[in-house]
Amino acid sequence: MKKIYPALSIVAPMGQYIAQGKKTLEIRSWRPTHLPLKDLLIVENQHYLTQEGDEELGYAVAMVDVEAIHPWKEDELDVAMASYWDEGYWAWVLSNVRPMLVQTPAMAKRKIYFIEIDHA
């Protein structure tokens, strides 16, 4: 059955690390307009999408919930799987991680966007 989900693109291999439960914080320079974000589809793609309108084909790898966001702290490098820390970023707390049984092709776009996929 097809359904519309909110989605967030993540550059490889971090989408897989989220699906495996290894990466529990997603670090962003922006915050969504509302919380919680339930059934947020994680779409893994190959390149950073830096300009408005950027998009590329990726794969839906997991579904998560985001119930909390807080200012990113320097002692959270490991759980964010980040190589460096910088002030002024937001840590999105990922919970209820559900890996996709079949990685479905899906468009990767900037910010939070909506896509329709088959999900049983």
- Cα(50)–Cα(6) distance, rounded to whole angstroms? 19
**Predicted pLDDT at 119:** 64
What separation in angstroms does the CA of 84 have from each of 10, 35, 72, 89, 98? 17, 27, 12, 12, 27
Measured distance CA(118)–CA(75) in Å, rounded: 38
pLDDT tens, N- to C-terminus, the chain (120 residues) = 889 999 999 999 999 999 999 999 999 999 999 999 999 999 999 999 999 999 999 999 999 999 999 999 999 999 999 999 999 999 999 999 999 999 899 999 999 999 998 765
Residues 6+ apart with CB under 8 A from 47: 11, 56
Q: Beta strand pairing status for 37-45 and 2-11?
A: parallel
CATH code for the domain of 90: 2.30.130.30
Q: What angle do CA 28, 103, 81 make, to 5 degrees?
A: 30
Q: How confident is the model at residue 103, as a pLDDT?
A: 85
pLDDT value for 114 = 97
3-state DSSP assignment of residue 18: helix
> In angstroms, what CA-CA distances link 104 with 59, 84, 101?
5, 31, 9
Into how many domains does the chain fold? 1
Check if the beta carbon of residue 117 is closer than 8 Å to that of residue 5.
Answer: yes
Predicted pLDDT of residue 52? 92
What's this model's pTM, rounded to 2 decimal places?
A: 0.95
Range of the domain at 96: 2-118
